[in-house]
Amino acid sequence: MSEKIKTNIKTSVIALGGNAISREGEDGSITTQFLNTRTCIESIVKLVELGRNVVIIHGNGPQIGQDLQRVEEASKVVPTIPLGVLVADNQGGMGYMIAQTLHNKLAERNIDKEVCTIVTQVLCDKNDPSLTNPTKFIGKFLTQQEAYEAQRIKGWFVKEDKGRGFRRVVPSPKPLKIVEGKIIEILIKNSVMVIAGGGGGIPVYEMEDGKLDGIDAVIDKDLTATLLANQINASELIFLTGVDKLFLNFREKNEKQLDSITLEEAKKYLQEGQFPQGSMGPKIEAAIKFLENGGEKAIISSIENVKDSVFKDAGTKIVRNSSK
């Protein structure tokens, strides 16, 4: 790994869920996605106004699901596109929306700052066990009957997203290295706002001769955000979600709001099953890795409260020990 960036300006890495841009119950059109992107970026730009470097890594669950559906519907007319290439296409499209919105919001506030989207490859193990045991939820929610038909007719792998319905699942290998990491470091060091690792990055593996080849999978963007946050010595790794804080016994009568937890508590609660893999689990795993590899603080917050989660008491802080 290259030498970590050292600067007096703190950097916040923000993991933005694809569901924030294509929300459940909406039509998923580009017009709607742009409207939602503007709402998300409005809050994020407030961090920039207060002097933070900001790096954005976005998810793409709903969007990649739409893309796969388009490929399937058009398969009788044009050649199909592999999942890995769809992730690359998706990075470009969503990166364009986010970058343009950032550019416009910064201009409104007379903030002189460059914005850049990096189409990002992420190195994985070609023998990762998830490639034969798909776990990553993508696309829209299905009824039980729709799930059964998708498995029978389309050959999809479908699993229940606890308490929410059924969804398609695809392989999700662990990210090992960001191929364009050094380029991203240079941009951040020069105060460029970077959008990178969209959808978790384009999954690739290294062949024996050192060349790269693609993998048909989707990487968890929260784990990729952790890799990048540690590499650039970010101050915070912020996971933007649909809730303001973490809860124990979520949606149960005895649920408990968590304002701050330690690294050891996060490990304990994860082991107890408080944060399922279909929802908060990957975010907590990512937060743990970030802290174990030198990160100062991870934050779980809603989009609306992102500024206050950094500078005030909003969100849930995950820290190495209770003295921080």
At 159, list the tokens: 């699993």
Separation between Cα atoms, residue 249 and residue 262, nearest integer Å: 18
For residue 239, give the H/E element and its range: strand 236-241
| Pairwise CA distance, residues 318 & 287, whole Å | 7
Q: How far is CA 202 from CA 82, 131, 161, in A?
A: 11, 15, 24
Nearest to 201 by CA among 210, 211, 212: 212
Counting Cα atoms < 13 Å in the Cβ hemisphere of 153 gives 7
Bridge pairing between strands 236-241 and 11-16 = parallel
Q: How many CB atoms lie within 10 A of CB 69?
A: 13
Q: How far is CA 129 from the centre of its chain?
A: 21
- Residues with catalytic function: 18-19, 136, 221, 283
119/141 Cα distance (integer angstroms): 28
**Cβ pair 311, 238 in contact under 8 A:** no
Rg, the chain, Cα only: 19
Distance CA 149, CA 142 (A): 10
- Hey, how many other C-beta atoms are within 10 angstroms of the C-beta on 299? 23
Residues 6+ apart with CB under 8 A from 249: 255, 256, 274
